[in-house]
């Protein structure tokens, strides 16, 4: 109900001036109403991407297509645009390719973004580039892409980048380096803390420290079904190692029954 009221408020405050329309569309996007933004932009400018439309209008439209789960439409729009959308346009193209599963194309677009000095979405592009490199089994390059995150200003984006960097080291059985990276990260949100505890538990398992692993797993609340599966399997492994096989079996049986 609250979300519906927010959407009504966004629609109700629409302005008919060009600048006002852009701000209305941006506000709709920032509030999670991508479809509202699409409607506002299409109503204001029926020739988006053609001569006469502005880069700002086109960039907002590309973002709105992506955020409304239409990556293929976003790709077609950006690639066919007669307006030069610059580095930001390549960023949304990269995001759309990534969402569409086009790893090489996304990697190329992210890399092109990063050649632009003072690019506004630089940190997001670095994370996106690292993820594409991982998808292409180029993990060492992914580590290099994320290495600078240690020096980023404190933010949820920095936390996400450091956790992904730590995960890369865990994947190659280097818990010591992963733990050093995680020590530099101070998660604040419950989601960040859940990811942090899981990674620290994985590091403890690799070092055969079952007690520490159980300490991190105890308060952990999985963020999604995939993470719930990973946490359950890890927890079961630790319990078995600690000589508590019946508890491990019960944990697995309860998880299977519940899911």
pLDDT tens across the length of the chain (259 residues) = 444 434 444 444 444 444 567 888 899 999 999 999 999 999 888 899 998 889 999 999 999 999 999 999 999 999 999 999 999 999 999 999 999 999 999 999 999 999 988 899 999 999 999 999 999 999 999 999 999 999 999 999 999 999 999 999 999 999 999 999 999 999 989 999 999 999 999 999 999 999 999 999 988 889 999 999 999 999 999 999 999 999 999 999 999 998 8
CA–CA distance, 63 with 33 (Å, rounded to integer)? 12
pLDDT score for 238 = 95
**Residue 133's pLDDT is what?**
98
In angstroms, rounded to a whole number, what is the distance separating the alpha carbons of residues 62 and 83?
A: 12
φ/ψ of 93, rounded to 5, equals -65, -45
Cβ contact 164:127 at 8 Å: yes
Per the DSSP assignment, residues forming a β-bridge with 53 are 51
**What sign has the CA pseudo-torsion 179, 183, 185, 191?**
positive
DSSP letter string, the chain: -HHHHHHHHHHHT---SHHHHHHHHHHHHHTT-HHHHHHHHHHH-TTTTSBTB-HHHHHHHHHHHHHTT-HHHHHHHHHH-SS--HHHHHHHHHHHHHHTT-HHHHHHHHHHHTTSTT-TTHHHHHHHHHHHHHHTT-HHHHHHHHGGGGGSPSSHHHHHHHHHHHHHHHHTT-HHHHHHHHHT----SHHHHHHHHHHHHHHHHHTT-HHHHHHHHTT---SSHHHHHHHHHHHHHHHHHTT-HHHHHHHHHHHHHH-
What are the beta bridge partners of residue 51?
A: 53
pLDDT (0 to 100) of residue 118? 86
Res 20: pLDDT? 63
Q: Report the first-to-last Cα separation within the chain, whole angstroms.
A: 29
């Amino acid at each position: 109900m609250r979300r519906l009221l927010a959407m009504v408020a966004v629609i109700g405050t629409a302005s008919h001036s060009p600048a006002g329309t852009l701000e209305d569309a941006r506000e709709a996007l920032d509030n999670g109403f991508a479809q509202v933004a699409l409607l506002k932009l299409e109503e204001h400018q029926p020739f988006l991407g053609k001569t006469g439309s502005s880069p700002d209008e086109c960039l907002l439209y590309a973002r709105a297509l992506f955020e409304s789960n239409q990556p293929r439409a976003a790709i077609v729009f950006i690639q066919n645009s007669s307006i030069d959308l610059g580095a930001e346009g390549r960023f949304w193209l990269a995001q759309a390719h990534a969402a569409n599963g086009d790893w090489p194309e996304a990697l190329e677009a992210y890399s092109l973004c990063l050649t632009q000095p003072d690019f506004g979405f630089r940190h997001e592009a670095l994370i996106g580039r690292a993820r594409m490199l991982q998808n292409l089994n180029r993990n060492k390059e992914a580590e290099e892409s994320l290495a600078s995150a240690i020096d980023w200003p404190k933010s949820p984006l920095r936390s996400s980048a450091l956790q992904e960097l730590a995960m890369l080291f865990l994947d190659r059985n280097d818990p010591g380096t992963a733990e050093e990276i995680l020590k530099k990260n101070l998660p604040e949100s419950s989601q960040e803390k859940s990811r942090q505890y899981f990674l620290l538990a994985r590091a403890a398992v690799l070092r055969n420290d079952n007690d520490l692993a159980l300490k991190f797993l105890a308060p952990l609340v999985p963020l999604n079904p995939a993470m719930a599966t990973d946490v359950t399997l890890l927890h079961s492994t630790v319990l078995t190692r600690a000589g508590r096989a019946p508890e491990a079996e019960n944990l697995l049986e309860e998880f299977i029954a519940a899911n």
